[in-house]
Structure 1
Amino acid sequence: MTQPDPAPVGTGVPTGGRGYAIGYLEDVDDSPEIIEYIARIESTFEPYGGEWLVHGSTPDVVEGELPGAVVIIGFPSVAAARAWYGSPAYQEILALRSDHSRSVIALLSGVPDGYRAADTIAKLQAGH
């Protein structure tokens, strides 16, 4: 069993559930490089337990602004997501995307199974 990842400072929210790679992409060129990136990316994340959750969907934004498309790849843990992102296989294709789009990529940890926000509130209140 893996240990939970540490919570972000000050949140008190436990982590240690699944990991996620989330991409926000704008101005994606319809170039041969982007086509090659799409053709090759799955083989880079599958060895780390990665799977598509969202691929290139345009969000239905109900608050604020979020232009472009969203990509979410799920992993067994954020450690697996970090290992994938830093892997030689992914680093080899990264420029195919980054040179042909504007993008922000973030890795984050989900909460453990059975998580309830009320438990976090109780811990925060007990500490004050």
Structure 2
Amino acid sequence: MTAYALALVHSVEFGPEIVEYLQRIDATLDPFGGRFVVHGGNAELLEGSWDDIRDVILIEFPDDTNLRAWYASPAYQEILPLRTRNMNATAVILTGVPAGYRGVDSLDH
């Protein structure tokens, strides 16, 4: 099943390290089938609170195995400090649902 790396960005110190991170991240994603689905952009609040979220980043992977392998890869681990030193974010892994999934299917477990 498809898996997603989601980051809710609270703040960014935009400088040379973030620029380098952005210049290098795509090459770390490619071997694992990762691709950006959302990378900032406009967000319209429909419900709840969005008080301290500046941006949303969503990266899609073919499955959980590839996502975890990307995150643990030497190439990504090498650039990760460029982001973490300059960005305050909450990052999580989300597992997608199978094709044809419907909301009522959540009642089956």
Give the TM-score taking structure 1 as reference length.
0.77
| Structure 2 partner of 1:80 | 66
Q: Give TM-score scaled by structure 2 length.
A: 0.90
How many percent identity over aligned positions?
Answer: 42
**Structure 2 partner of 1:71:** 57
Gaps of 5+ in 2: none
| CA-to-aligned-CA distance 1:63-111 (integer Å, 9 cap, x gap) | 2223210001100012211111111111100110110011111111100
Which consecutive residues of structure 1, in runs of 5 or more, have no partner in the other structure?
1-16
Correspondence for 1:101 among 87, 101, 108: 87
Shift in Å, 1:29: 1.2
Q: Which has the higher contact order (CA 8 A, sep 6+)?
A: 2
Go from structure 1 to structure 2 and tell me whether the alpha carbon gap of 1:93 and 1:100 turns closer, same or farther (over 3 Å shift).
same
User: How many angstroms apart in 2 are the aligned matches of 1:106 and 1:45?
Assistant: 16
CA RMSD across the alignment: 1.3
Runs of 4+ in 1 over 3 A off after TM superposition: none
- In structure 2, C-alpha distance between the alignment counterparts of 1:58 and 1:26, rounded to whole Å: 15
Q: CA deviation at 1:57?
A: 2.5
Of Structure 1 and Structure 2, which has the larger fraction of its residues in strand?
Answer: 2
Q: Looking at CA atoms only, which structure, 1 or 2, has the larger radius of gyration?
A: 1
Partner of 2:16: 32
